[in-house]
């Protein structure tokens, strides 16, 4: 019944020999009549032409001037106006039907913007009126300059939190409110200057260093910190920590248990439950979007009326108090450009500018994709930056495209940026005539509104997807999440950026290298691990490099290729196969090479030559081939050193071996 060990070895040997012969036969058919093509150099270009082409690819990938070609002077002027002020593009086609839709959506987001503006200003430790000012001027500026039809402009929770936490670390908003206000306006000015500069200089790729994975973690961590900070209002605590880490916040909550107020608890959690319920209804049934959109204003009205009639019995419930009526007062005289706190304003402006810009562009692109139109990232940077510069001079703090407001604007049927003008008009009416009505609005309701708004920033489904798809991305998400929770919001953002840069460096310095095999019956070569049917070619080791070859990875690639060679020789010896003679380096994915990379190829060829192994390059792309040619390295490779495809290299070298006596 059993089979002897010698018999098993014989069978294994026969199978191995059959596989080897089979691969040789299968390769012989497609390569026998294969034509060998010469690898061509790209067209000759001057250094200035190369530089101009490279700069245009870096800064003008969308070719913004293509629309000006072959146009009259008058048409060029009109196109320039449309490019700088997108309102000139859609205004001539505007009609009553579009206006009706924009009025409905504008009034709908105004009902959300007014309570949110007041709440987010409190989150930034600013007077509540500043939040309303910031919902008036910036939307008007954006409607002239912005290219998105659906963005709802105003203060946002994350930028408000970051500004409040960074400024309050150095300047007390209680002891020196005027200086704090100056710092907020100056930080807003620097944020706008940074944002508009990125757009004008077309450096938008800078914000791409905040990857989606790190932003998911950062937003979730910030949302939890924001929510815990609102326990001060929900519980009625007077003496609360100004720190933004989870541990000090929780300690402060339980340490001040004697300050908890059952009246705040009852009122706060009742409206929080109401707001979360309306949010859940709108998520389940998108057609009922107006339910969650109107809920914040409804909560403000109901709670204000309730506190007003019970004002003699609710002394422990803190209220907003008197708010000044009138338009935004000018604040250019409050900008702080000289003094010991200038660095603080500059740093705060840079951080909040990056965050608000990232959110604003992401929101704009999200809704543009749903309606199949394009948002120009650089124009959006200029629009958001200029509206923040204008805002800093008119008593506003950092604003951008709010996701919650934009979602309501989109669902309400907004057609153009006129919806922002309608919203700003509603805020204007509020500023001029309705401010006394907010006197008895309780702070506890504002805390409930903030918690409801930031809950949506905790995207656990995105985190789970990161875990399933890319464990390194998930690790980056966790690092930024815990960095915000346990260290600080600014440092959490720094960790997020650091991890994103580290991932880039890791991918550049440790690129993928693959062993390729032939798909039977075809001239196609693919990864042996990915395609099980792919076969090795006797006497050949075919490797692919999946990245540019730079100074940062050239040493690693040399070591890794030599290791592949050593492992292949050991495998050949163990299986008693044909001796290794040639290493083919597939350079299809090598999009660029520098002098360090060229030196590495030269050194690698010398090392392999000493071991009687031939190194062959396959399919070097245009600029790589050009640099190889100018470096004279191709002379050392000889006539059979560079081929157009891996298949042609295998066919030509195999036939030359057969021709040898």
Domains for the chain: give ranges and CATH numbers: 88-318+337-503 (no CATH), 511-659 (3.30.750.24)
Q: Does residue 39 sit in helix, strand or coil?
A: coil
Res 219: pLDDT: 85
User: Phi and psi for 284 in degrees, rounded to 5?
Assistant: -75, -35
What is d(CA 465, CA 309) in angstroms, rounded to the nearest whole number? 50
Q: What is the mean pLDDT of the chain?
A: 86
CA angle at 283 for the pair 278 and 285, rounded to the nearest 5° = 90
Conformational region of residue 70, where left means phi above 0, alpha means psi within -120 to 50, and beta covers everything else = left
Angle at 223 between CA 220 and CA 227, to 5 degrees: 145
Q: Which tokens go with 162?
A: 């970051």
- How deeply is 69 buried, as exposed, middle or buried, from its count of CB atoms within 10 A (0-12, 13-18, 19+)? exposed
> Taken in order 640, 643, 646, 649, is the CA torsion positive or negative?
negative
Q: Which residues of the chain have pLDDT under 50?
A: 1-32
Token pair listed for 147: 């290219």
3 state SS of 348: helix
Inter-residue contact 608 to 583 (CB < 8 Å): yes
Query: Which tokens sit at 355?
Result: 């965050």
pLDDT of residue 24: 42
> How far apart (Å, rounded) are the C-alpha atoms in residues 189 and 195?
10
What is the rounded distance in angstroms from the CA atom of residue 546 to the CA atom of residue 587?
Answer: 8
Please state, in angstroms and rounded to a whole number, the distance separating the CA atoms of residues 536 and 75.
Answer: 62
Give the pair of three-digit tokens for residue 486: 């346990």
Residue 590 DSSP code = -
Question: From CA 253, how far away is CA 241, in angstroms rounded?
Answer: 9
Looking at residue 661, what is its pLDDT? 60
What are the structure tokens assigned to 193, written together? 């200057």
Q: Could you tell me if 159 and 121 are in contact, meaning their C-beta atoms sit under 8 angstroms apart? A: no
**Do residues 509 and 552 lie in contact, with contact meaning Cβ atoms separated by under 8 Å?**
yes
Phi and psi at residue 363, to the nearest 5°: -65, -45
Q: How many residues does the chain have?
A: 661
How far, in Å, CA of 118 to CA of 279, rounded?
Answer: 20
In 463-534, beta strands by DSSP E? 513-518, 525-527
Whose structure tokens read 């592949």? 564
Alpha carbon distance 645, 157 (integer Å):
55
Q: Listing from the earlier edge strand, what are the strands of the sheet with 525-527?
A: 525-527, 513-518, 540-545, 582-586, 614-618, 642-643
Sign of CA dihedral 60, 64, 68, 69: positive
Q: What are the residue ranges of helices labelled H in 33-156?
A: 47-59, 73-84, 87-90, 96-123, 128-133, 137-145
What is the per-residue pLDDT for 622?
86
């Amino acid at each position: 019944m059993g089979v002897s060990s010698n018999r098993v070895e014989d069978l294994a040997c026969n199978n191995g020999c059959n596989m080897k012969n089979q691969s040789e036969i299968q390769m012989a058919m497609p390569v026998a009549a294969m034509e060998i093509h010469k690898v061509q150099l790209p067209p000759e270009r001057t250094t200035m032409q190369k530089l101009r082409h490279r700069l245009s690819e870096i800064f003008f990938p969308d070719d913004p001037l293509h629309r000006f070609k072959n146009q009259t002077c008058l048409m060029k002027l009109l196109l320039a106006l449309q490019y700088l002020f997108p309102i000139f593009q859609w205004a001539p086609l505007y009609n009553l039907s579009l206006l009706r839709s924009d009025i409905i959506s504008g009034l709908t987001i105004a009902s959300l913007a007014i309570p949110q503006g007041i709440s987010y200003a409190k989150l930034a430790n600013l007077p509540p009126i500043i939040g309303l000012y910031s919902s008036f001027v910036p939307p008007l500026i954006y409607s002239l300059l912005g290219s998105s039809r659906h963005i709802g402009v105003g203060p946002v929770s994350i930028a408000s939190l970051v500004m409040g936490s960074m400024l309050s670390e150095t300047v007390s908003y209680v002891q020196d409110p005027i200086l704090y206000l100056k710092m907020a306006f100056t930080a807003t000015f620097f944020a706008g200057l940074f944002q508009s500069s990125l757009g004008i200089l077309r450096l938008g790729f800078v914000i791409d260093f905040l990857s989606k994975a790190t932003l998911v973690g950062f937003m979730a961590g910030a949302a939890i910190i924001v929510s815990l900070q609102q326990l001060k209002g929900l519980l009625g605590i007077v003496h609360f920590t100004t720190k933004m880490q989870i541990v000090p916040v929780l300690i402060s909550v339980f340490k001040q248990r004697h300050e908890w107020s059952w009246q705040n608890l009852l009122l706060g959690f009742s409206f929080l439950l109401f707001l979360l319920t309306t949010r859940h209804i709108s998520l389940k049934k998108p057609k009922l979007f107006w339910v969650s959109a109107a809920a914040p204003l409804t909560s403000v009205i109901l709670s204000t009326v309730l506190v007003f009639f019970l004002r003699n019995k609710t002394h422990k419930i803190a209220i907003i108090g008197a708010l000044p009526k009138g338009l935004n007062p000018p604040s250019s005289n409050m900008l702080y450009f000289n003094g010991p706190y200038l660095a603080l304003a500059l740093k705060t402006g840079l951080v909040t500018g990056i965050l608000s810009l990232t959110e604003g562009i992401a929101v704009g692109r999200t809704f543009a994709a749903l309606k199949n139109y394009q948002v120009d990232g650089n124009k959006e940077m200029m629009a958001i930056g200029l509206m923040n510069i204008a805002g800093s001079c008119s008593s506003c703090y950092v604003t951008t495209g709010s996701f919650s407001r934009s979602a309501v604007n989109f669902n309400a049927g907004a057609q153009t940026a006129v919806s922002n003008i309608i919203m700003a008009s509603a805020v204007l009416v509020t500023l001029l005539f309705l401010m006394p009505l907010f006197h008895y609005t309780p702070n506890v309701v504002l805390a409930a509104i903030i918690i409801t708004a930031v809950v949506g920033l905790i995207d656990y489904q995105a985190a789970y997807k990161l875990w399933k798809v890319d464990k390194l991305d998930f690790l980056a998400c966790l690092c930024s999440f815990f960095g915000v929770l346990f260290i600080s919001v600014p440092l959490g953002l720094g960790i997020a950026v650091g991890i994103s840069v580290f991932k880039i460096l890791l991918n550049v310095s440790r690129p993928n290298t693959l062993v390729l095999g032939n798909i039977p019956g075809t001239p196609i070569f693919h990864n042996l691990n990915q395609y099980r049917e792919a076969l090795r070619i006797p006497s050949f080791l075919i490797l692919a490099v999946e990245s540019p070859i730079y100074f940062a990875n050239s040493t690693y690639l040399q070591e890794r290729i030599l290791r592949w060679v050593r492992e292949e020789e050991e495998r050949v010896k163990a299986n008693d196969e044909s001796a290794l003679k040639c290493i083919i380096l597939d350079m299809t994915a090598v999009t660029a090479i520098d002098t360090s990379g060229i030196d590495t190829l030269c050194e690698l060829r010398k090392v392999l030559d000493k071991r009687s192994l031939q190194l062959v390059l396959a399919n070097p792309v245009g600029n790589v081939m050009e640099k190889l040619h100018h470096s004279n390295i191709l002379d050392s490779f000889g006539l059979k050193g560079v081929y157009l495809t891996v298949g042609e290299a295998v066919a030509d070298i195999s036939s030359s071996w057969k021709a040898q006596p």
